[in-house]
A and B are shown apart, each in its own frame.
Chain A
Amino acid sequence: MATFQELACKEIIKGIEEINPDYFLSIPCSTVAPVIQHFENHDKIISFPVSREEEGVGIAAGISLGGKVPVLLIQDTGIGNSILAITTFVKAYHVPMLILVTRRGGFGEINSAVYHFSEPLPQILDDANVKTFRLDYRVPLKEWSVAIRQGFQYAQNTHRPIIVMFNIKGGAAQ
């Protein structure tokens, strides 16, 4: 029987493919490894890794300003590395961009340090006025691809970065 993680990854892939971006930029997270692997081998969407999340935000912003569509996939810790770029460039310059973010911390987390950032992150994003939609076990998996697609469209329609954040470890709300 497929695990929650496997099913979630399939939904995330589906959502991204429905957007049909020109570029897929990522920094790996073990929980979404199948998603990154899928796009590494994609014949239509150009996929490449970035060295740091801030760098990914900058490159994706340039792609978007140039009239092409990027999707950036990072861990939530990467928001700490990129929040200045997200706010003072992407948001300030009204650059549409979908950023997909995997959740760290919470039940199932084995890292003893990362929760110091991951747990307060939703509050940090709210305080920075970066619009974020959160997907976890409470949202039916079949709705995840819809949310990803809608997140992309919302970024286009409102000319700003939109974060869709997902917890694919399952379990209680963080």
Chain B
Amino acid sequence: MMSRFEALQVLYQYTEHIPVISSCGNTSREWASLGRRDNHLYMVDTMGLTPSVGIGLSLALKDKPFKKVIAIEGDGGILMNPNAFASAAYLRPEKLLLIIFDNECFASTGGQCSLASKIDIGKVAKGFDLEVIAVDNTEDFEQAVKESIGKDAPIVIHAKINQENQKRPNINDDPAVLSYKFSRFINEA
């Protein structure tokens, strides 16, 4: 099974011009450690909100020249806010790509067991009538990313990962600066 960092390394190759919002904790730290980009918005708190922000952004950027808007969330985060599945199913923002990294635990806080150890998040998303691609290795993940970016429909990639964490620096920027850079990139597109 791939690690989150291996998957992020794959994703990074395809997101030079795609807005990406990453959830708080290790996900944003590992993601930022690959190289900061203004089109990547790093969330430093508000666990579970990333998919919601991604949905709103997908709606707003409907007519902008971005192929997709990507929101990266973990199993703990999406189960904290499964409302995002309901919103995505209802609104069907065609640019939304929601990537759920599922290691069945709260890795950022020490690997405590999450509800995902007994719940198939992909099935939950399918229950909301969302298109789901399930993967657990980098080759399939890369294929899923490429396929999703080319499609005009909301897609969920349910990516099973192992519980490995990379030790990466905290993101301690003023969120206003993170937001300013991201907005400037969006507005100039």
Contacts and interface: CB of A to CB of B under 8 A. Distances in A.
Contact of B60 (A49, A50, A67): A67
B59 A94 contact: no
Contact of A65 (B46, B53, B83, B87): B53
A62 B175 contact: no
A94 B57 contact: no
A62 B54 contact: yes
A49 B86 CA distance: 11
B179 interface: yes
A68 B176 CA distance: 18
Nearest to A59: B56
Contact of B86 (A51, A54, A95): A51
B26 to A, nearest CB: 18
A65 B45 contact: no
Contacts of B41: 65
Interface string A47-62: 0111110110111111
Nearest to A50: B87
Interface stretch (A34-42, A85-93, A133-141): A85-93
B76 to A, nearest CB: 15
B59 A66 contact: yes
Contacts, number: 109
A70 interface: yes
A45 interface: no
A64 B53 CA distance: 10
B157 interface: no
Contacts of B84: 55, 58
B27 interface: no
A88 B52 CA distance: 14
A55 B179 contact: no
B58 A62 contact: yes
Interface in A12-59: 22-23, 48-52, 54-55, 57-59
Interface stretch (B117-125, B130-138, B161-169, B180-188): B180-188
Contacts of B21: 62
A40 B58 CA distance: 21
Contacts of A60: 56
A62 B54 CA distance: 6
Q: Which of A85, A93, A95 is the most central at the interface, judged by chain B CB atoms within 10 Å of its CB? A: A93
Interface of A: 22-23, 48-52, 54-55, 57-68, 70, 84-85, 88-89, 92-95, 159
Given A54-B48, A84-B46, 10 more contacts: A22-B60, A49-B90, A59-B56, A62-B56, A62-B60, A63-B56, A63-B57, A64-B56, A65-B182, A67-B186
